[in-house]
């Protein structure tokens, strides 16, 4: 075999059996890669959140965004997404971007994880909406009694829409969707 022939070198590597050391290296490399994903993307969102309140990052489905927008359709005003994640759905359109395109302005997303905020801003830039939507890094768990704060500060007639996680002490006006695509709408009186 000539040292310059990549096809023969690849063929030789394919025929060779992995020893215990190579298997250990592959397992260690896979574990390190999984830890890197956890440490960079998921763990920052759990850092300052009490264990009983930790909610995993689960991206919104296209159907869930459609459900949210159908509950907001025809309503003027601004849209705020609490826990906006990476701002991406398979169609590269977050609830914030979709709300902006439906006329809800300003459209604003809050997220604790700085990596997801960065990704959301990148997707907004790629969609051509970076100057029209904003994503901010905020720790919502530091807000005292979020539901009480919303009730006190929102104007009468405002609508709060919650996806995946309902507000425990409010009675929903409308519930739409099933399973992970379920959304709850609450009207402020």
Give tens-digit pLDDT for 108-161. Answer: 888 877 888 888 898 889 888 888 888 888 877 665 567 888 888 888 888 888
Q: What does the pLDDT read at residue 161?
A: 86
Task: Answer for the pair 81, 133: CB distance below 8 angstroms, yes or no.
Answer: no
Give every residue of the chain whose pLDDT is below 50, as ranges.
1, 89-92
The span from the CA of 147 to the CA of 170, in Å, is 8
């Amino acid at each position: 075999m000539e040292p310059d022939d990549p096809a023969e070198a690849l063929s030789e590597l394919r025929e060779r059996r992995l020893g215990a050391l190579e298997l250990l290296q592959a397992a260690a490399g896979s574990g390190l890669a999984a830890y890197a994903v956890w440490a960079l993307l998921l763990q920052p969102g759990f850092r300052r959140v009490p264990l009983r309140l930790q909610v995993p990052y689960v991206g919104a489905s296209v159907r869930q965004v459609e459900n949210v927008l159908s509950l907001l359709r025809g309503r003027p005003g601004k849209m705020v997404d609490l826990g906006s994640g990476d701002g991406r759905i398979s169609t590269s359109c977050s609830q914030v971007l979709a709300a902006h395109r439906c006329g809800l302005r300003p459209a604003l997303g809050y997220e604790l994880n700085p990596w997801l905020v960065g990704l959301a801003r990148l997707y907004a830039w790629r969609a051509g909406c970076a100057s029209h939507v904003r994503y901010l890094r905020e720790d919502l768990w530091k807000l005292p009694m979020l539901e009480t704060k919303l009730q006190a500060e929102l104007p009468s007639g405002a609508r709060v829409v919650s996806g995946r996680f309902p507000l425990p002490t409010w009675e929903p006006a409308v519930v739409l969707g099933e399973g992970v695509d379920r959304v709850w709408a609450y009207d402020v009186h």
